[in-house]
Structure 1
Amino acid sequence: MNNNADLSETLKARLKDLVARAQMIEDDLRHPLDPDWSEQAVDLADDEALEGVEETLRAEIRQIRLALARIESGTYGTCAKCGKDIGVERLKIRPIATRCIDCAR
């Protein structure tokens, strides 16, 4: 697949952005709690929401790193289920895809 270099650059840029965002969330989660009990309740609720976002970011980070590893190993763009090529358009839309459109259904 000739677009691997382009997709690799796209994945690396997305990875850089996600890692930066995850680090910002992690830093925010480390803040000390406010001494005011009502503020603590708000902070804890916000922290819970941030933890959910961070978990989602970390999952996408893992998927992107796996996609980059597949590019390096030469298996990128091959369906993990049936072994056929994953369509270029599918990979452009979902560069972390591991299955062709037929197997993904």
Structure 2
Amino acid sequence: MKTTAERKADLLARAEALTVRTKGIAAELISHDAQDWEELATEREGDEVLEGMGLEAQSELRAISAALARIEAGDYGFCQTCGAEIAQARLDAVPFTPFCKDCAK
């Protein structure tokens, strides 16, 4: 069973990795300079995938930020809906979850 301090360290590491990833995605999105229409179309398709990845990363970063705030407030590991303790296995799978298994449905 991980301690709250260990979970916080994991969340901070994941946030750092996601921040690096989003910066890389942003750099890739602005780096295109294809002159050929066919190449430009291919780049645009890739941009859609990158934008989706970027949005997912930003969403996860917001969830991590909220989890870190709950750690600081002493509310981490408790469901934000019903107040029940969140199972350790659930926190292992989704360490930033604010909900117990029953309330997440």
Q: Report the Cα offset of residue 81 of structure 1.
A: 1.1
d(CA) in 2 for partners of 1:24, 1:96: 23
- Say if 1:81 and 1:103, in contact at 8 Å, map to a contact too: yes
d(CA) in 2 for partners of 1:87, 1:49: 34
Aligned to 1:63: 63
Q: Report the Cα offset of residue 7 of structure 1.
A: 0.3
For structure 1, the residue ranges without an aligned partner over 5 or more in a row are none
- 1:55-97 CA distance string (max 9 Å, x none): 0111011111110111011111111111111122211221111
Superposition pairs of residues 1-105 of structure 1, within 5 angstroms: 3-105=3-105
Q: Report the Cα offset of residue 34 of structure 1.
A: 0.7
- The number of equivalent residue pairs is 104
SS in 2 for 1:101: coil
What amino acid is the match of 1:31? S
d(CA) in 1 for partners of 2:63, 2:91: 13
- Structure 1 runs (4+) deviating above 6 angstroms are none
- 1:8-52 CA distance string (max 9 Å, x none): 001011111111011100000011331111111111111111101
For structure 2, the residue ranges without an aligned partner over 5 or more in a row are none
What amino acid is the match of 1:55? L
**TM-score, normalized by length of structure 1?**
0.92
Moved more, 15-24 or 2-11: 2-11
| RMSD, aligned α-carbons | 1.2
